[in-house]
């Protein structure tokens, strides 16, 4: 497990690739619980069979998928507007997950 909240050693920082992050075109997903301007950055979690793209992370508080226009990496910070949680991206079992900061 690679958890940035627990602290990272210097070897892990050097392993981080300096490559340019992939960009994604976000489309409207029908998520209508927030202002129209921000709706493309969120979608509802579909359940067990749902998979996350490299630019998505699941909010553990409200179970909403937070989307980004760029590829997410370990240590990135994201904000969940529906539950107003600040999250940090971590890696568990080869999958990106969000950890609540506050």
Among 75, 66, 24, CA closest to 45: 66
10 pLDDT above the threshold of 70: no
Give the residue-averaged pLDDT of 43-72: 92
Among 47, 57, 49, CA closest to 80: 57
Can you give the residue ranges of every domain in the chain? 22-100
Among 77, 55, 81, 52, CA closest to 68: 55
pLDDT category of residue 76 using cuts at 50, 70 and 90: very high
pLDDT at 86: 96
- Name the pTM for this structure: 0.77
Give the residue-averaged pLDDT of 50-63: 92
Supply the mean pLDDT for the chain.
85
6 pLDDT above the threshold of 70: no
Among 65, 77, 68, CA closest to 101: 77
pLDDT at 21: 87
Q: How far apart are the first and last CA of the chain?
A: 21
């Amino acid at each position: 497990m690679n958890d940035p909240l627990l602290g990272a050693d210097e070897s892990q920082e050097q392993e981080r690739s300096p490559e340019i992050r992939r960009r994604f075109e976000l489309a409207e997903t029908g998520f209508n619980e927030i202002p129209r301007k921000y709706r493309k950055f969120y979608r509802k979690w579909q359940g067990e069979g749902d998979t996350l793209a490299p630019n998505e992370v699941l909010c553990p508080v409200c179970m909403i998928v937070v989307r980004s226009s760029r590829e997410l990496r370990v240590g990135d910070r994201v904000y969940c507007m529906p539950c107003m949680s600040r999250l940090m991206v971590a890696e568990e079992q080869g999958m990106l997950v969000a950890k609540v900061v506050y």
